[in-house]
Structure formats: C-alpha cells, structure tokens
Structure 1
Amino acid sequence: MYMPYSVQGPKLLLVDDGFKAMSLPSQHLTVIFNTFVLMTLFNEINSRKIHDQRNVFSGIISNWIFIVIWLGTFALQIAIIQFGSYAFHTQPLELDHWLWCLFFGVGELVWGQVSSVRLLLEGLYFYSLDFRSDLYD
C-alpha cells in the first residue's frame, strides 16, 4: 500500500507531495501515515478471532476494554492528525482524505475475510489430498 500511495498519491489526492519543502508537514505524507494507523486499527478487529472463527464482531460489545482502547486510539489519531501539526509533523486532512483513509482501513476487514476463506479452502484441499492418500494405502 505504501509504495503506490507514496508515488501516485499526490496525483490521486490532488495534493502537493511535500518532498520539496521537507520542513513543512504535507497532506500527502499525513494521508499515508493516517491510512497506516487506520489499517492497523481495523486489523486489531480482525485479530480478535483465530482458528477458523470468521465473525470478527461476535462478542465485541462484551469486551469493553477492547472498545475503550480502540475508540481511544481512534480519537487520539484524529487529534494527532487535525491538531498535532508541528508536534507530529502532520497537516490537517479534509473530509475526502479522511474518507479515503477510512476506506483503506475498513478494507482490512474485507481483506481479513478474504484471507480466512483462502486459508479455509487451502486447508480443505490439503485435507482432501490426505484423505485420498489414505484410500490408496
């Protein structure tokens, strides 16, 4: 995600790349940073379930510690991006940039489901090969 976004991001987002004036925060690099953090946050939701458990939202409401930490991290990220200009070397983002970052972040949930289905199918395939070899032994 980083390489295409860092090279083509300024053209896609219609912002300055920020490489010419390294002393000033740029929206382009802020979008990359924000997207990375949001992808990590949504991957935390994916990481709640393992071993062929596919519903990553089951029981999420009963885990109040997870909810508090997740929402706190998200709120802190908003504050860092919108108000942390010089301290964190970020530039406040506009709504459309936030929506792109959220789009890629939520994409982690989709990617988690796709990869779990792929692993499930691979497991079924290899299990069927083992079963066939047992038939011919």
Structure 2
Amino acid sequence: MAATTKLDELLAVFLAELDEDLHPEFVKGTLTRHPELLNMTTAAPFKMTLLHAAAGRRSDTLHMLLTMGADPNLTEPGERSPLHYAVMSEKEENVFNLLLFGANSEHLDALGKKPVDYAKGYVKEVLTQRAKNLEAKKSFL
C-alpha cells in the first residue's frame, strides 16, 4: 500500500472523529510503524498534513505530533500553516504549542493573511505582541 494511501486512510479516520477526537496513542502507534507519514501531504480533497488536521483539535495529539518531529511550517494548497488552522479554530493551547515548536507567525497564506489576521481575543494580543517583538529584534540587529 502506498504511503499516501495510508496517510489518507489515517486522516480520514482522524477527521471522522470531529466530536470525539482520536487519542494520540492511536496516531502515535500508526506513525511509529509508518514514520514517513508524519510530514506527508494527503491526496485530494484534503491536501493537508496530520498536523494541519490536529491544529484545530486535541492539544495532546498536536503536541505528540510536534514532539515526533512534525514540521509546524508546512503549508497546504491555500498556503495556510497549522498555526493558521489553530488560530481560526480558536485553540489557544495549540497556538502556543505551535509557536513553542517554531511555527512562523509571520507566514502569509494565499490571501496574504498572517495567522494574527484571523485571531481574536487573547490569541490576537499574543500574536500582535510577538510581531512587535520580532520587529524590535530585527531593528536591533
């Protein structure tokens, strides 16, 4: 079975559990057997990584994917990163985990929007402050 097919099957099960998200143990077991799936992009119609799918869901699954080495800066066809997904889903803990693991908060999607452009409330404040800190750091160097 091709790796993309395995990933598509895993993602289909993952997405089917929208109300009762998959436990990280299931995903970890599959990725332990098939590590090549970690940063692969699925076939149509989703064309996303597992990290994209996890970004709007369980924080423990997202954290597990990140600790296994998932790239927080991979994008899907709309150029959205997992950080865009976490922000749009209003998953604060996922936003913070993605930032902790090196997600680029300045990445522009296909509409020219950064994650902060989709953010609300406290997450918007955090991302706005992060942008100011990055700008100050650039001007200092």
User: Smaller-chain TM-score range?
Assistant: under 0.3
Bigger proportion of residues as helix: 1
Determine which structure has more spread, i.e. the larger CA radius of gyration: 1
TM-score with structure 1 setting the length: 0.22
TM-score with structure 2 setting the length: 0.21
